[in-house]
């Protein structure tokens, strides 16, 4: 742990901590994204109790808005009281029973996290391989299903660590269902930004985070389960290993009974309600189109600078753009310089792609033309100052032209 | 689940949800309490990234302020990314290893929750009994320690379900340590409102919630572990059963490394920072004294009305006042009437005390003279209107006189 002043326990010497004045960042990394001022304002609303009849109404509204955004009729659609990883563990920890097998992908950071959570739930893990930076091949998934006959198959719809969109989702879910395998989809970086149709695509369970394409501060995270998946959860032989994330207990609170389980994060529920209202006002399909349009300009800007996208166009992920780091440039130095000179957050690569890519988000309220122009300008300037072979003027022109198309 | 309009998945028919306008409640129940406007304002601060160097500074400040509030030098003092029950499960799920034994109390709702979490962590549970509405007797604890030789002993410092303060904490911890038993304290309803000295009292692990005496919206919850307790956690043979709450992984984020684990609930960290700044500005001992003073007036007001406190004065809990429901009165009807006529939240009893007590909080920003006068006035009026034998005028006078002492 970081060292702290040794006076901290002396009651006569209370710590003196200044007013909160964080820097004014522009958030174009892998999340969080910039938050719409309406959502921030909603968070300064005074609290009501988590069992107040008025809060129950708010819960209903949030569920309805979440269903709209997930494109599902699933009754069991809630915000989990924690950040995206809590929703992820709620999904895996409730669906997987000890001794069951989960098939997970190896083509990015979050497949590894799925494996870790499945093991902690008492499950066995088998893998379907693809290189980092590529999607799963449906043929490989079919082979793995045939070989391992897993109880659950998890995949990542939008891989935040590689900037890859998984195509062919209906093909994957159909293959899984042929083996009576339930499908859990990680939609952390797709929900509200990239086409996602939980019902039409026959996804059994999907979880997400609020701080990506929903542009909502983290703390209450979307989760949806089909009736069939929920039936499996409710008929478990052994209780899930987390009390906090036990969906059979949460059913008492979010279901008809409205019984106390734990205190909901009231302000985070206010926030996601407002963030989802913005989705509904824009319209979900128009929102997907906006992300594609604005991120398309970002991509054009990057290519105009002379940089290369890591993913081929077929599985380009508009919400998270993986851009190759030019030869001889240190990605960490670039990110630091962008933060220092431009108050701009973008990120480097992780795992197998560490040092190889920049990860530039284009999500929710951050997916605006002005942010695109800003990031292309700033990155062009910083890379040029480091001696990279880039053309800042051409980058900005390409982005602007694409925006004006 | 509650029924929703069937149009919710029709993209042409986005749900129409109005602006957020919750009622203007006065929160005098078992939590959440009223939030200071400064904390609400902090929550509308735009985000920075969870790995931003400026956020690391904020994390350090929060840790320093938490140590001050817990009265501890424990390096390992953090806000857990979830509500109080997440901090509770982080404590129990990391400290208890499969096959270990935890001694838990039966004198309130939260001892039962401890037992449930310990079992899910793979532990065995043994109990030390006391009736609901009474504290543990140190002699009974000693006997139970001698009989069961548990690895961990959990107790509730301030029982929210019964309004009982556990006295003799140093005696309990000394007895436990004589058996090499680690002590976990539930300080959900005491931290920041009632005298609590983690180091002086030799408590090994303590967790709390932000929405009680800290008057902070729920979502990031205090947890502190001694070096010895953390050593046990870091030398576990088997990983804890929750990935999200695994303290050995969180050590990488909150410790020197600052490595990504999960996205912190940034806005909730902003909020608890501001709430803890208010604690430091007031001074922790003055804050305890204020709770005792203001809640003392509340208690005098209740007695002035002609009502009876459930707990004897020796273990009266200022932050949560358990008041006997008068003969012939339905507690649920009273609570509903207070909410409807006065926009005032108080709660009824739980478990063994269901129907027998009102639970009236006096916590943090809610622990103000004006709230005391309001709750005494409102409760007097409602009870009188229901035909109970109360003296509203005498209640208000008694409260006012005590405030003026």
Q: What is the pLDDT of residues B194-235, one digit of tens each?
A: 999 999 999 999 999 999 999 999 999 999 999 999 999 999
Q: Is B328 on the interface with A (CB under 8 A)?
A: no
Distances from the Cα of A352 to the Cαs of A162, A317, B258, B339, in angstroms? 9, 18, 20, 57
Q: Do A242 and B243 count as a contact with CB atoms less than 8 A apart?
A: no
Q: Which two tokens stand for residue B102?
A: 């935890």
| Continuous segment of H or E residues that includes residue B26 | strand B26-27
Q: Do A1 and B256 count as a contact with CB atoms less than 8 A apart?
A: yes
Distance from CA of B401 to the nearest CA of A (A): 30
Nearest one of A34, A363, A317 to A164, comparing CA atoms: A317
Residue-wise pLDDT for A119-141, tens only, equals: 999 999 999 999 999 999 999 99
* Per-residue model confidence (pLDDT) at position B11: 55
Let me know if A404 is exposed, middle or buried by CB neighbors in 10 A (0-12, 13-18, 19+).
exposed
Distance from CA of A316 to the nearest CA of B (A): 24
CATH of A37-281, one of 3.40.50.12280, 3.40.50.720, 3.40.640.10, 1.10.10.10: 3.40.640.10
Let me know if B99 is exposed, middle or buried by CB neighbors in 10 A (0-12, 13-18, 19+).
exposed
Q: Is A328 on the interface with B (CB under 8 A)?
A: no
Residue-wise pLDDT for B12-54, tens only, equals: 689 999 999 999 999 999 999 999 999 999 999 999 999 999 9
Distances from the Cα of A155 to the Cαs of A152, A197, A294, B69, B76, in angstroms? 10, 15, 26, 43, 35
Angstrom distance (rounded) from CA B185 to CA B162: 16
Distance from CA of A401 to the nearest CA of B (A): 30
* Per-residue model confidence (pLDDT) at position A125: 98
Where do the structural domains in chain A lie, given as residue ranges?
37-281, 284-404
Cβ neighbours, 10 Å, residue B200: 12
pLDDT > 70: what percent of chain A? Answer: 97
Angstrom distance (rounded) from CA A41 to CA B210: 21
Q: Is B371 on the interface with A (CB under 8 A)?
A: no
Q: pLDDT band at residue A259, thresholds of 50, 70 and 90?
A: confident
Q: Residues of B with CB below 8 A from A27's CB?
A: 47-49
Q: Which two tokens stand for residue A240?
A: 């899930």
Q: Do A17 and B277 count as a contact with CB atoms less than 8 A apart?
A: yes
Q: Do A22 and B55 count as a contact with CB atoms less than 8 A apart?
A: yes
In chain B, which residue's Cα lies nearest the Cα of A94?
Answer: B242
Q: Do B81 and A81 count as a contact with CB atoms less than 8 A apart?
A: no
CATH class of B284-404: alpha beta
Angstrom distance (rounded) from CA B316 to CA A47: 27
Lowest mean pLDDT among A1-15, A264-278, B168-182, B276-290: A1-15
Q: Do B243 and A120 count as a contact with CB atoms less than 8 A apart?
A: yes
Count CB pairs under 8 A between chains A and B: 326
Distance from CA of A3 to the nearest CA of B (A): 8
Q: Residues of B with CB below 8 A from A83's CB?
A: 81, 262-265
Mean pLDDT over B163-174 rounds to 98
Pairing outcome for strands B164-165 and B158-159: antiparallel
Q: Is B354 on the interface with A (CB under 8 A)?
A: no
Q: Cβ distance B263 to A84 under 8 Å?
A: yes
Distances from the Cα of B30 to the Cαs of A97, A378, A386, B115, in angstroms? 35, 51, 58, 22
In chain A, which residue's Cα lies nearest the Cα of B215?
Answer: A47
Q: Is B256 on the interface with A (CB under 8 A)?
A: yes
| Continuous segment of H or E residues that includes residue B223 | strand B221-225
Residues of A numbered 74-103 whose beta carbons fall under 8 angstroms of chain B's beta carbons: which are they? 75-76, 81-86, 88-89, 93
Q: Do B285 and A40 count as a contact with CB atoms less than 8 A apart?
A: no
Nearest one of A378, A374, A276 to A38, comparing CA atoms: A276
Distances from the Cα of B272 to the Cαs of B157, B213, B260, B268, B276, in angstroms? 21, 12, 21, 6, 6
Residue-wise pLDDT for B299-349, tens only, equals: 999 999 999 999 999 999 999 999 999 999 999 999 999 999 999 999 999
> Which of B16, B47, B255 has its CB closest to that of A217?
B47
């Amino acid at each position: 742990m970081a060292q702290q002043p040794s006076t901290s326990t002396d009651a006569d010497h209370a710590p003196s901590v200044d007013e909160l004045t964080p820097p004014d960042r522009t958030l174009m990394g892998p999340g969080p994204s910039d938050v719409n001022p309406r959502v921030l304002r909603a968070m300064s609303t005074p609290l009501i109790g988590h069992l107040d009849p008025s809060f129950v109404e708010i819960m209903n509204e949030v569920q309805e808005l979440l269903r709209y955004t997930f494109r599902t009729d699933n009754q069991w659609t809630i915000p989990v009281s924690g950040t995206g990883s809590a929703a992820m563990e709620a999904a895996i920890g409730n669906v997987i029973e000890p001794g069951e097998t989960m098939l997970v992908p190896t083509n990015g950071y979050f497949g590894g996290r799925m494996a870790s959570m499945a093991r902690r739930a008492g499950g066995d893990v088998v893998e379907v391989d693809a290189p980092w930076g590529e999607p799963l091949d449906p043929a490989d998934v079919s082979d793995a299903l045939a070989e391992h006959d897993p109880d659950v198959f998890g995949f990542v719809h939008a891989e935040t660590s590689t900037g890859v969109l998984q195509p062919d989702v209906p093909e994957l879910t159909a293959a899984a269902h042929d083996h009576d395998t339930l499908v859990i989809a990680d939609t952390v970086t797709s929900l509200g930004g990239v086409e996602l149709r939980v019902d039409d695509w026959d996804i059994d369970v999907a979880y997400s985070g609020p701080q990506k394409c929903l542009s909502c501060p983290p703390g209450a995270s979307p989760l949806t389960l089909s009736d069939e998946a929920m039936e499996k959860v409710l008929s478990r032989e052994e209780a899930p290993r987390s009390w906090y994330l036990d969906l059979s207990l949460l059913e008492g609170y979010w279901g008809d009974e409205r019984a106390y389980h734990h205190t909901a994060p009231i302000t985070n529920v206010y926030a996601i309600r407002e963030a989802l209202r913005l989705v509904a006002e824009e319209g979900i399909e128009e929102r997907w189109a906006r992300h594609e349009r604005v991120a398309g300009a970002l991509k054009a800007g990057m290519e105009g600078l002379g940089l290369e996208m890591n993913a081929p166009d077929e599985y380009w992920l508009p919400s998270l753009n993986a851009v190759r780091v030019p030869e001889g440039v240190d990605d960490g130095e670039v990110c630091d310089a962008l933060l220092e000179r431009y108050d701009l957050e973008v990120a480097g690569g992780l795992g197998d792609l560490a040092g190889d890519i920049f990860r530039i988000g284009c999500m929710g309220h951050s997916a605006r033309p002005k942010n695109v122009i800003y990031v292309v300008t700033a990155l062009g300037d910083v890379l040029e100052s480091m001696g990279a072979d880039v053309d800042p003027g051409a980058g900005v022109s390409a982005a602007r032209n694409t925006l004006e198309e």
